[in-house]
């Protein structure tokens, strides 16, 4: 563990920086986390979200934190504690352990790794990165529509001048 990080406690959310996205896990204790992985267990962790997008399924695994993190930066991040009340730790861990080795539905926008671990911690799945992705898609869509309308208007005006 890098210096300056606080030691995770059972029930903590672990945020792992994978570069283009954040992978989330739930700390169980004794160096282990629970996280969703591709159904194909042989796939590298970088492909977790990509593979799960296409299969729409993920497998819940209990793994050592250091194996899940690999060479990526990570931190304890219980960022929703201000807006959601965490369940009792014993309840979080008991509920989490029921999922070990189960296949679960996976969807980047509504059932991703962050939704999964926040559901365990708070009883409700929450994902800021999904909200940001949805907002970005809406913004891109709005720009595309506005561009199409503008091009249509410009074409219409240029046609008027030609006649």
Catalytic residue ranges: 23, 113
Q: How far apart are CA 158 and CA 144, in angstroms?
A: 21
Q: What angle do CA 82, 22, 108 make, to 5 degrees?
A: 95
Continuous segment of H or E residues that includes residue 156:
helix 128-162
* C-beta separation of 72 from 44 below 8 A: no
| Token reading at 78 | 């219980």
Going by C-beta distance under 8 Å and a sequence separation of 6 or more, which residues neighbour residue 47?
38
| Token reading at 154 | 């410009």
| Token reading at 129 | 């990165």
């Amino acid at each position: 563990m890098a210096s300056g990080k606080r030691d995770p406690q059972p029930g903590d959310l672990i945020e792992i920086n994978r570069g283009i996205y954040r992978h989330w896990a739930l700390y169980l204790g004794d160096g282990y986390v629970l996280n969703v992985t591709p159904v194909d267990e042989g796939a590298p962790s970088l492909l977790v979200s990509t593979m799960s997008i296409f299969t729409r399924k993920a497998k819940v695994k209990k793994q050592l934190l250091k194996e899940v993190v690999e060479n990526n930066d990570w931190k304890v991040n219980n960022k929703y504690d201000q807006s959601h009340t965490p369940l009792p730790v014993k309840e979080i861990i008991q509920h989490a352990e029921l999922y070990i080795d189960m296949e679960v539905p996976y969807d980047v926008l509504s059932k991703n790794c962050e939704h999964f671990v926040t559901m365990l911690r708070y009883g409700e799945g929450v994902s800021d990165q999904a909200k940001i992705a949805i907002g970005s898609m809406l913004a891109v869509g709005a720009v595309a529509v506005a561009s199409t309308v503008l091009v249509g208007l410009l074409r219409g005006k240029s046609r008027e001048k030609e006649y």
